[in-house]
Amino acid sequence: MEYLLCTNGLTKQYGRHKAVDSVNIHIRQGDIYGLIGRNGAGKTTILKIISGLASPTAGDFTLFGKTGKNVSPYMSRIGTLIEAPGVYPNMSARENLKLKCLAMGVRKKGCIDDLLRIVGLENTGRKKIRNFSLGMKQRLGIALALVGDPDIVILDEPINGLDPQGIAEIRETLSKLNKEKNITFIISSHILEELSKIATNYGIIHDGVLLQEMTREELLAKCSERIELKTDDTGRACTVLESMGIKRYKVVDASTIQIFERLNDSGDITMSLAENGVKTMGITVKNEALEDYYLNLTGGAEYV
Ligand SMILES: Nc1ncnc2c1ncn2[C@@H]1O[C@H](COP(=O)(O)OP(=O)(O)OP(=O)(O)O)[C@@H](O)[C@H]1O
């Protein structure tokens, strides 16, 4: 089986609006798949469909080799954290996990201790969830999704609202689970950068449409290089660039232009600018930030 999970023209229509429009995502065993898109792009809807919480209006998906609009017998192999985790605020982490184990018929000895340790909540004792930080709550949500040893874990915006320390902790937990237990993850986020240190694959979704699917290596290659030009006259500098046949550039602010082609020609560019009386205050080759790449892809920023 090539893919653990793939969607086939998956579509969800609400009235006349297609929240998810013919989406084909492909996820292999062991992937950490980042589903990236702005709020309202359709991420949660896709995750709900593949978790069995919603059904598509068209298309279907293939899970563990079985195709359908809902492949129920296999759903127990998926753990989910979609929207706020269903926790009891007046109970401890251990008590919450105990309830979930009971509900799922999981009786494995020591499994609650294991789960608490995996997500770093082993020392929270009797502390009630309502006194947990957001990061601790998210980690408990992940532990709850792990009850029953799922093969795939789906996490909807697990790092939304966390501070950098909280993000780093979640990242570490997920990497560990991926490596040690070979769990395949599907994680959504509206910030590409947040997943860039952990995801092995990406699907970029915008207005319900999957714009691009790529591996981490492909993304890094795409975000590779650009020339960053600092000048005192961006208007005239643009005219010079045009006269050199350079079209792919962007004026970022009053003194900065980013050039996305002829990356080895920074000497020629400086010379042409000088010949036309435009002063170069700095010229460097830089990597495009992931976020810029994402904004360009989804039409958030425009080439001039
Ligand atoms: N039950 C519903 N009825 C009508 N429209 C809906 C419903 N659920 C979602 N939508 C619409 O579908 C689109 C996609 O929503 P979805 O929640 O999947 O986006 P998202 O990418 O997960 O964003 P967010 O991070 O804000 O949840 C949005 O325009 C939303 O308003």
CATH number at residue 105: 3.40.50.300
- For 232-290, how does the pLDDT look when each residue is reduced to its tens digit (9 = 90+)? 999 999 999 999 999 999 998 999 998 988 888 889 999 999 999 999 999 988 766 67
Based on the fold, state whether residues 164 and 85 are members of the same structural domain. yes
Residue nearest to atom 25 of ligand 1 (CA): 39
- For 124-162, how does the pLDDT look when each residue is reduced to its tens digit (9 = 90+)? 999 999 999 888 898 999 999 999 999 999 999 988 878
Q: How far apart are CA 160 and CA 260, in angstroms?
A: 31
* C-alpha of residue 22 to centroid of ligand 1, in Å: 16
**Single pTM value for the model:** 0.77
Based on the fold, state whether residues 205 and 258 are members of the same structural domain. no
Parent domain of 141: 5-214
Based on the fold, state whether residues 192 and 65 are members of the same structural domain. yes
- Give the count of domains, the chain: 2
> For position 301, what pLDDT does the model report?
43
Give the nearest ligand 1 atom to 83 CA: 27
Based on the fold, state whether residues 55 and 141 are members of the same structural domain. yes
Q: pLDDT > 90: what percent of the chain?
A: 61
* C-alpha of residue 77 to centroid of ligand 1, in Å: 25
CB 226 less than 6 A from any atom of ligand 1: no
Residue 292 within any structural domain of the chain: no
CATH number at residue 258: 3.30.70.100
Those residues whose C-beta lies under 8 Å from the C-beta of residue 60, and which sit 6 or more positions away, are: 7, 8, 9, 10, 67, 68, 69
Based on the fold, state whether residues 192 and 274 are members of the same structural domain. no
**Residue 176 CB burial class (10 angstroms; 0-12, 13-18, ≥19):** middle
Query: What number of CA atoms fall less than 13 Å from residue 220's CA on the CB side?
Result: 10
- For 94-134, how does the pLDDT look when each residue is reduced to its tens digit (9 = 90+)? 999 999 999 888 888 899 999 999 888 999 999 999 999 88
CB 45 less than 6 A from any atom of ligand 1: yes
> For position 300, what pLDDT does the model report?
61
- For 211-234, how does the pLDDT look when each residue is reduced to its tens digit (9 = 90+)? 999 998 888 767 767 888 999 999
CB 19 less than 6 A from any atom of ligand 1: yes
Query: For residue 198, what is the enclosing H or E element?
Result: none
Based on the fold, state whether residues 99 and 242 are members of the same structural domain. no
Residue 160 within any structural domain of the chain: yes
Give me the interface pTM, i.e. the ipTM.
0.91
* C-alpha of residue 41 to centroid of ligand 1, in Å: 7
Residue 252 within any structural domain of the chain: yes
Q: Among 194, 214, 234, identify where a domain stops.
A: 214
* C-alpha of residue 184 to centroid of ligand 1, in Å: 24
Based on the fold, state whether residues 128 and 229 are members of the same structural domain. no
Q: Sheet with 256-259: list strands edge to edge.
A: 249-253, 256-259, 225-231, 280-287
Chain centre to alpha carbon of residue 278: 42
Q: Cβ distance 49 to 12 under 8 Å?
A: yes
Across the chain, mean pLDDT equals 89
